[in-house]
Amino acid sequence: MEKVNLNEKFGLIHDYWNPRIAGELNNQHVKLAKFCGEFVWHHHEHEDEMFLVVTGRLLIRFRDKEILLTEGEFLIVPRGVEHQPVALEETHVVLFEPKTTLNTGNTVGEYTREHLDHA
């Protein structure tokens, strides 16, 4: 057991849209990532996805609405719901999701990360 300091871990991340594994529990990953700009539209067929904003602002677009998250807020996107994260500035995010979750869900492209490093 070791405590995790989010500020220290985020300080080690120097790229965007490339999640790092910060912890594991009950077949779930706690991931840390820095976001900036637009991500791809996608959905996760079998997994819910949680976005917790530590710093910055994250807009989650859906086909019928948008939800803005600011520091200290989180949102759970249910499985099967198409969404597009958009970071309005550099944004530090904690993601909590099953180990099997591919970051780009049903979309494969330049942002897809099949093998994640540890933070």
pLDDT band at 119 (very low <50, low <70, confident <90, very high): confident
β-sheet bridge partners, residue 50: 76, 96
Residue 58 and residue 35 in contact, taking contact as beta carbons nearer than 8 Å: yes
**Span 5-64, pLDDT tens digits:** 999 999 999 999 999 999 999 999 999 999 999 999 999 999 999 999 999 999 999 999
CA separation for the pair 104, 41 (Å, rounded): 8
What's residue 27's pLDDT? 94
What's residue 112's pLDDT? 77
| Domains of the chain (ranges, CATH numbers) | 6-98 (2.60.120.10)
Residue 43 and residue 83 in contact, taking contact as beta carbons nearer than 8 Å: yes
Bin 88: left if φ > 0, else alpha if -120 < ψ < 50, else beta.
alpha
Residue 78 and residue 51 in contact, taking contact as beta carbons nearer than 8 Å: no
Burial class for 83, CB neighbours closer than 10 Å (0-12, 13-18, 19+) = buried
What's the predicted TM-score (pTM) here? 0.91
What's residue 9's pLDDT? 97
**Span 49-106, pLDDT tens digits:** 999 999 999 999 999 999 999 999 999 999 999 999 999 999 999 999 988 887 877 7
